[in-house]
Structure 1
Amino acid sequence: MIIMDYRTLGKTNFKISEVSLGTWQLGSKWGDPFDADDAARTLEAAYESGVNYFDTADIYQDGLSEHAVGQFLKKHPDVHYSTKMGRRIEPHSAANYSKQNLMSFVDHSLKNMQVDALDLVLLHCPPTSVYDDPEVFQTLDDLKRMGKIRNYGVSVERVAEAITALQYDISAVEIIFNMFRLRPATEFFAKAQAANVGILARVPLASGLLSGKYTAQTTFGKNDHRTFNRHGEAFDKGETFSGVDFETGLKAVDELKRRLKTDDLAPMALRYILMYDAVSAVIPGASKPEQITANAAAAERPPFTDAQMQIVRDVYDNYIKDSVENLW
């Protein structure tokens, strides 16, 4: 049985599993049809492993992910969750983060999840100018007063966006943080802690690159973002392999595996993130129940030594930093 530890998620005061579950892939692999039974089994497997926090979005599987999490909540009302909003509307522009649309997004998620109030709502990587618009956050304050949401925060692409968002009454920030994306630790984490803002570390395995299982011959499906978005063709390049060139990433992964003396990098990559006490939870995805146990077990791995922490920094500095540090 996995021994899971729990951390406080900022101002929400939710005690959440330090390894939680992101549901972008819930019930489907990238680009494949949604399978409600697989989704339900995956959520149950996570719960049985001690996971009590689930991150979804209104756009995931066109709302089917939200619906699956909502059905799960009926069986397990003790768990917590976040849902994200804003990416459903086209065009995805700052103007479309209007009061009317924000109210509509929340009502849509309430209906999808069949709940009276949403635990935590995150703006879903909005255009940068949205973070400078106090009316957006005033609307979120209004939604709290109306009792439709309990907490709100932001999911960001860039460290600068996260820092700007701290001027508002946010409870949490969801940000890409992993062995290939270290800038948040040096520029944002201390600021978030001082503001009592929780941090959810997303894309923790760099779209699977940090699983250590890929080679130069690895291919992905045509509907998989790891095929069609390597250069930012569809959305922010930083979402795919954390913005790292695939071939360069493979070299860095080989170096990490060699110096950390492991052929199973994924649990170490997750455990590395948990070395930072500013992080409330890491939220790896899973499309099948069998992927859950391995992710959750990362919480039981021994802490990194100082020498191991330095190895990660060295590999980042030597292979990754120049190409990603200033972009995100």
Structure 2
Amino acid sequence: MQYRKLGKTGLETSVIGLGTDQFYGEWGQNFNQSEVDKIIEKAHSFGINFIDTAECYGDHLSESFIGNAIKNRDDWIIATKFGHKYHGFQKQRTYHFDVKGIEEQLENSLKALKTDYIDFYQYHSPTNDDFFNKEVWEFLKQKKDEGKIHHIGIALVASAVTDGDLFQLENAESANVDMFQIVYNRINKLAEEKVFPFCEKHNFGVLARIPLARGHLSGKYSPETNFASNDRRSFENKDDTIRQLKFVQHLKDNEVPQNVNMAQWALAWCLKNPVVSAVIPGMKNIEQVEINAKAADLEL
């Protein structure tokens, strides 16, 4: 495993992190505690030390699986999020970016994760109005002073590449934010235009979210694939999905070296950019853990 510093935090994170969106059952597979235990144990054995989760991956369900699975809290850097509340399949949500809502979410996350502190507490895809709330800034600073939060981050929305969306980056230091998540993969490279240069200039940590483009860049699917009804991807625009999978086929034929696993290639492609501290793919089983972890050593 390789490790990189996460911006000005100074924390050394494994370049392959463990995304846990899948644990609450919207990707065609339901999980139980035993399965999650094995995934996290396998990730640890490969040197992965970063876990990303959220309050609305189920009603703190993903966090609960993680809290029950972790044996030694000091072995892990844990990031979770706030702002949404889960109400059922397909991420039916209400939004809670007010102090009262955030405080409730924080306490529930700490309880679910079975921990006294969260390494990175992240705004979950906020609008500019959600983010720019000095009362919330002060509340989060207070929780940092209490030791319940060590660092504050923002999981930016997928379109966070316009001048208007840069507002959150430009006001990050005022809000004590020092790391960002942004969608980045071989299909969606928009972060390179404005977000990455800004983060590099100001030494903000960067996590690449959705690095496998919701599994499309694993190379397992064709344009003819029909996703199951309990898989979120079955609800996405069919034309967009077909277009993406045709492009993936083009990549497989023209860019992926022979005898190289495409998922490993896609993760290593993200990590070629030195601004990226880590990628956070989801992993449904221990075989995927091993494939993804080995991407850390793949030189393109």
TM-score scaled by length of structure 1: 0.81
The percentage of aligned residue pairs carrying the same residue is 34
Alignment partners' CA distance in 2, 1:159 and 1:187: 6
Matched, 1:267 2:270: no
Return the alpha-carbon distance in structure 2 between the equivalents of residues 249 and 259 of structure 1: 15
CA contact (8 A) 2:128 2:168 kept: no
Aligned residue identity for 1:171: D
The counterpart of 2:193, out of the listed 182, 186, 207, is: 186
Match of 1:228 among 235, 244, 266: 235
Superposition deviation, residue 196 in structure 1: 2.1
What displacement does 1:171 show? 1.9
How far apart are 1:9 and its partner, in Å?
1.2
The answer to whether 1:72 aligns with 2:74 is no
Contact 1:116 1:148 in 2 (8 A): yes
Q: 1:170 to 1:147 in 2, by over 3 A?
A: same
1:163 and 2:166 aligned? yes
SS in 2 for 1:245: helix
Match of 2:6 among 6, 9, 12: 9
Secondary structure, aligned partner of 1:153: strand
What amino acid does structure 1 have at the position aligned with 2:136? V
Q: Structure 1 pair 27/296, CA: closer, same or farther in 2 (3 Å)?
A: farther
The two structures, once aligned, show a CA RMSD in angstroms of: 2.1
Alignment of 1:33-112 (within 5 A): 33-88=30-85, 92-93=94-95, 96-112=96-112
Superposition deviation, residue 177 in structure 1: 0.3
Aligned equivalent of 2:18:
21
Using the alignment, how far apart are the partners of 1:50 and 1:27 within structure 2?
24
Say whether 1:144 aligns with 2:141: no
Structure 2: which 5+ residue stretches go unaligned?
A: 88-92
**CA distance in structure 2 between the aligned counterparts of 1:281 and 1:56, rounded to whole angstroms:** 15
8 Å contact kept, 2:73–2:115: no
Task: Give 1:190's aligned amino acid.
Answer: P
> How far 1:224 moved relative to its partner?
1.3
- In 1, the alpha carbon distance for the partners of 2:193 and 2:287 equals 34
Query: How many residues align structurally?
Result: 286
The residue that corresponds to 1:322 in the other structure is none
Calculate the TM-score normalised by the size of structure 2: 0.88
The aligned residue for residue 209 of structure 2 is: 202
The residue type paired with residue 281 of structure 1 is A
Structure 1, gaps ≥5 residues long: 232-243, 304-328
1:181/1:216 Cα in 2 relative to 1: closer, same or farther (>3 Å)?
A: closer
Task: Read off the aligned partner of 1:34 and give its amino acid letter.
Answer: F
For 1:217 and 1:154, locate their aligned partners in 2 and report how far apart those are by CA, in whole Å.
36
Judge conservation of contact 2:222–2:249 (CA < 8 Å) in 1. no
Which deviates the most, 26-35 or 274-283? 26-35
Deviates more, 1:125-134 or 1:251-260: 125-134
Determine if the alignment matches structure 1 residue 281 to structure 2 residue 278.
yes
Q: Please say if residues 27 and 36 of structure 1, whose CA atoms lie closer than 8 Å, have aligned partners that are also in contact.
A: no
1:213 to 201, 220, 233: 220
- In 2, Cα distance between equivalents of 1:107 and 1:275: 37
How far does the alpha carbon of each residue in 1:179-221 deviate from its partner, in whole angstroms, 9 at most, with x for none? Answer: 1111111211121122221111010111111112211321212
Q: Distance in 2 between matches of 1:171 and 1:69?
A: 24
1:206 and 1:55 map into 2 onto residues whose CA distance is 16
SS at match of 2:295: helix
Contact 1:162–1:188 under 8 Å retained in 2: no
